[in-house]
Chains A and B, each alone.
Chain A
Amino acid sequence: MTAEPYDVIIVGSGAGGGMSAYHLTKSGLKVLLLEAGRDYDPRIETPMFNTNAEAPLRGVGTPDKPFGFYDATVDGGWQVPNEPYTVAEGSDPFIWWRPRMLGGRTNHWGRIALRFGPMDFKPRSRDGLGYDWPITYDDMAPWYDKTERLIGVSGAYPPQSLTNTPDSPDGCLMASAPPRAFELFYGRAFKAMGIPVIPMHGAVVTGQMEGRNTCLFATPCGRGCAIGANFQSTTVLLPPAMATGNLTIRTNALVYEVELDRSGKAKGVNFVDRKTGEHHSASAKAVVLAAGSGETARILLNSKSAKFPDGLSNTHGMVGRYLMDSVGLGVTGQFPELENLPPTNDDGQGTEHTYIPWWGYDKHKALGFPRGYHIEIGGGRGMPSMSVARLLEEGDVSVGDDLRATLRRKYGSTIGFNGRGEMIPNDDCYCELDPGVKDKWGVPVLRFHWKWGESETKQAAHMVSTFLEVIDKLGGKPLGKVERDGRKAISKGGEMIHEVGTARMGASDRDSVVNQYGQSWGVPNLFVTDGAVLVSSPDKNPTLSIIALAWRSSDHLATLAKQGALS
């Protein structure tokens, strides 16, 4: 392994690592990609078109497969065997989703691909809260353009010029499939409330795209896609990187430390093979960490040396700080007016066809909370699951033909409204090394600290009241008990699986870990290209931005390599 003269070692093969591998190998650099999970081939492993009846327990989620049997996640979930984490005493709950597979979370992600807007990069300048990025939307715009064209994103629409909700230039997006019945239905209510409804940006190939298959408008994206019609690192980034001949992938390689040479530059990494338990080293001219915000912070904190006694690039105690997630919660309604709709194929394109971007940028003073949320809305006549009986009201004890008739009538008449909102980074949310607990291989694990602020809990309460208002306007009733107290209704920390910000970028080494190119302030040949570098956590789901930033940072790295600045 160490005999190979690698230019770059990349740790992690998901959105950030996959993109880094793609660009660096295409730039002619020899890359070793280390992935903690097993090899994974979506072309043969994806359960497309399987029915729930073919799965154990009709496919419901279990501790072994928390998002359901067919969820693409391998060897992971809220717990990973042999790799614990802890939550500090007195902390609010925090949960951490990790897979152990090539391509990481890009295999199962929701494919929602929204750009951050101009305000999202300069939140502190706007209202004094949070922190500004060292870059602007204009710096990022060309990288968003390139990223959308590369990964395949649907959601084209005539320019809307909505506040902080960027339109993509012509040629970046493909057209979405038309709104389904439930989308037309809720759309009318939002429009009546003066709230715009626009096509979702989804990382799904809905039209003709060179070198890619078009969506089959069937079978959920969360299972992965055997024909590569949606974006997965394993179908879109890693195969072309391999085709360059410059990429070596080693799976089951759990990296725990970056090693420095005498001059204080990174010389390589140490890792354990998860299957054999053997420890290995690999060296290269540069190291890119893209293990996921939590794991990247853990590697930095575990990389202790005389120069960095508290962890690599942690001179000012910034590693692990400003951990963020999205605010999330959902309310489901049942709508008599959607009953008895003629059978329609509502499988759709995987992502929602339309969504509600945040509409209250000029109303925050009156609203009493500083940042907004967008709404992701699910419904329609999807493939029935074990939750079919939720359609039956509490007092309903019918059987036989009455029961069949009720289910037929109500099937497809529910709509789930889900808010995803911005969180402002705070001093109570961070991760550090647990002083006692170690993983199976003796490496200290992360201990999380979490506390939502009022900005988030008030926003959560607003989500609930908005959803109830819409449900009422549409003549529906909420299903189940609805919690109106934002402090209780809000998701757990980490639950939205948008944990970001543990090694943020900044304009100075005093208050950040890396510069605007993900380059460590303290170690010039060490880069971070995953969500750890994010300075804010806007309501927009982070994946598209992680990919675009990883491309931009990798381009900088490649330029430095060409200039000979790395060797």
Chain B
Amino acid sequence: MSPSKSKPLKTEPDPKVAAPQEPYVEKVDRRSAMAWVGVVGAVLAGGAGVVVYGEYREGRPKAKGYGTDPKLAKPEKAPWPRIMTAAQLQAAALFADYILPASGSAPAATALGIPDFLNEWVSAPYPDQMKDRAILLDGLEGLRISSQRRWGVDFAAASAGQRQALLQALAAAKPKTTAHTFFRRMRALVVGAYYTTPQGFKDIGYIGNVPRTSDPGPSEEVKAHLERAFQKLGL
């Protein structure tokens, strides 16, 4: 079903795959993307193979959420500072487009600003998002280190083939491993963020959210589909 299951794991860059794309440019202005450079630097200095973002997990510095009475009709931008480094944002962008590259008239994930969303998500001061913060930022850092070790370049600077090899390895990782969890969470977030946009609606076939004077119910075509299903199910 998935390409990674049927194909052998790539260890060498595939020359047929295109070179790195243009760097991702944020769709919104960034407030404090470099806030965590010091932390990342410290981890690298230690040369650790396992990256642990203790500070991220404990949620410091304490950022404020949007509160219990945010404006709903015209929502304001999420107020917390963004914590991804420029390198993490680039890696997230490349990963997002690996999951959902452009296809026909459907845009790529980066064209819809999905990396900004990922940054908003991992920066949020709420428990679910802070859990993902550790998974995603550790994962992106793991990608960076793996790329460095294997090819001597950062993930974001690696060739498309090199990146693909690393991402396919993630997808092929055994369930419940850190790598697999990272892949599944990243993909779930990218997919969720993508299909909640109007372009995503179009791609998945959501045609609602328009005012109507009545609800006519299902079409004859839909009813015929159901009748075939009932026959098959013996209902």
Contact = CB atoms under 8 A, between A and B. Distances in A.
Q: Do A and B bind each other?
A: yes
Interface of A: 38, 44-47, 49-60, 62-65, 69-70, 72, 74-77, 81, 177-181, 184-185, 188-189, 192, 214, 216-219, 223, 337-338, 340-349, 381-389, 392, 394-404, 407-408, 411-412, 473-475
A396 B221 contact: no
Interface string B54-84: 0000000000011111101101011000000
A47 B121 contact: no
B208 A389 contact: no
18 contacts: A51-B198, A57-B120, A57-B129, A65-B66, A184-B218, A217-B211, A218-B211, A337-B229, A344-B218, A382-B206, A383-B196, A388-B192, A389-B188, A389-B191, A396-B1, A397-B2, A397-B183, A407-B204
A188 B230 contact: yes
Closest 3 CB pairs of A and B: A178-B217, A389-B188, A177-B215
B124 A57 contact: yes
B31 interface: no
B210 A345 contact: yes
Contacts, number: 241
B213 interface: yes
Contacts of A81: 68
Interface in B185-222: 187-189, 191-193, 195-198, 200-201, 203-219, 221-222
Given A192-B235, A218-B211, A342-B225, A45 B69 contact: no
Contact of B222 (A49, A76, A181, A402): A181
Interface of B: 1-5, 65-70, 72-73, 75, 77-78, 98-101, 103, 106, 117, 120-121, 124, 126-129, 171-172, 175, 183-184, 187-189, 191-193, 195-198, 200-201, 203-219, 221-223, 225-226, 229-230, 232-233, 235
A387 B70 contact: no
Contacts of B100: 399-400, 403-404
A469 to B, nearest CB: 13
Centre residue among B3, B183, B189 by max chain A CB count within 10 A: B3
Contacts of A49: 209, 211
A150 to B, nearest CB: 23
A399 B3 CA distance: 8
B232 to A, nearest CB: 7
Given A50-B73, A384-B204, A402-B1, A397 B172 contact: yes
Contact of B171 (A50, A63, A392, A397): A397
A385 B196 contact: yes
Given A74-B69, A397-B172, A399-B187, A58 B204 contact: no
A401 B103 contact: yes
B217 A63 contact: no
A62 to B, nearest CB: 4
Nearest to B117: A58
B222 A345 contact: no
B201 A384 contact: yes
Given A177-B214, A398-B3, A404 B68 contact: no
Contact of B206 (A387, A395, A411): A411
Contact of A384 (B3, B124, B195): B195
A488 to B, nearest CB: 22
A50 B225 CA distance: 32
A177 B213 CA distance: 11
A344 B72 contact: no
Contacts of B198: 51, 53
A67 to B, nearest CB: 12
Contacts of A397: 2, 4-5, 171-172, 183-184, 187
Given A179-B217, A344-B219, A219 B209 contact: yes
A74 B196 CA distance: 24
A53 B202 CA distance: 14
Nearest to A73: B68
Contact of B191 (A53, A65, A347, A388): A388
B208 A400 contact: no
Given A345-B208, A404-B203, A178 B232 contact: no
A395 B4 CA distance: 11
Given A56-B75, A77-B68, A399-B98, A189 B196 contact: no
A392 B68 CA distance: 33
Contacts of B106: 404
A403 B99 contact: yes
B218 A47 contact: no
B72 A70 contact: yes
A446 to B, nearest CB: 20
B213 A214 contact: yes
Given A77-B68, A345-B210, A53 B196 contact: yes
B229 A185 contact: yes
A50 B121 CA distance: 19
A395 B5 CA distance: 10
A408 B204 CA distance: 5
